[in-house]
A = this chain, B = another copy of it.
Amino acid sequence: MPTEALTRRARRAARPGPGPTAAPGLSARDRAYQDLRHRILTGRLAPGTTLLETELAALLGLSRTPVREATIKLAEEGLIDIRPRHGITVRTVSPEDVRDILDVFSALEIRAVELVARRGLTDEELAHLQQMLSRMERLTAAGDIARWSDMDDDLHSTIVALCGNPRLLRTLGEYWGQQYRARLLILPLRPAPVQSDLEHRAMLAAIAARDVEAARRTHQQHRDRADAQQVELLRARLGSGAA
């Protein structure tokens, strides 16, 4: 298992934070939130795990109040279920859930790309993105799917970050967290992403040309295909082995 990639991703998983540092100065609620989110996304809190508020508080070394507030947030993000009297359960990722999540996620991402295309790219931004694409193509050729997947995440989030709509970014981040574990699960099953590389090139060209309609169309095609594949692989993964 590429633990290094996991770590790298894990750091991104706790997105708004400054880094992996011990989080000084942060409120206990935020620490609880980030810590729990991090543990869930990296699998250190496995799907299906059930804990009581008291146990969570003990686990994190805090009182129930901030932990409770954090769990409410996580429940609204769809990462856990709160069942009163039955504890707090880490949600599993069923193919049906993932399909629903990706339906929303892709709609948002497509809109973000449209906004970026409308706005256009600076030369630096374009050069940077092209460089990322080249690196990804080399990784594809080398068969390093894990690192490619990392960069794919990076590429997408780098592009959408340029859209200039903070609410859109926020909601995108929520749904990103919901589909992240599914992505990890199917990672070893993914074929060489030759098609994705091509689609990325087309998308970037459309964005650079400030052709909103082409950007929408190419990105939608990309997502439709990639999402269907992801759901299919997940179904295979869950059908064959354990979660």
Contacts and interface: CB of A to CB of B under 8 A. Distances in A.
Contacts of A168: 100, 103-104, 107
Nearest to A77: B76
A109 to B, nearest CB: 9
- Copies of this protein in the assembly total 2
Interface in A124-182: 165-168, 171, 175, 178
A108 interface: yes
A104 B171 contact: yes
A57 B111 CA distance: 39
Interface residues of A, number: 24
Interface in A85-125: 100-101, 103-104, 106-108, 110-111, 115
A59 to B, nearest CB: 21
A76 B78 contact: no
A205 interface: no
Given A69-B69, A69-B72, A78 B167 contact: yes
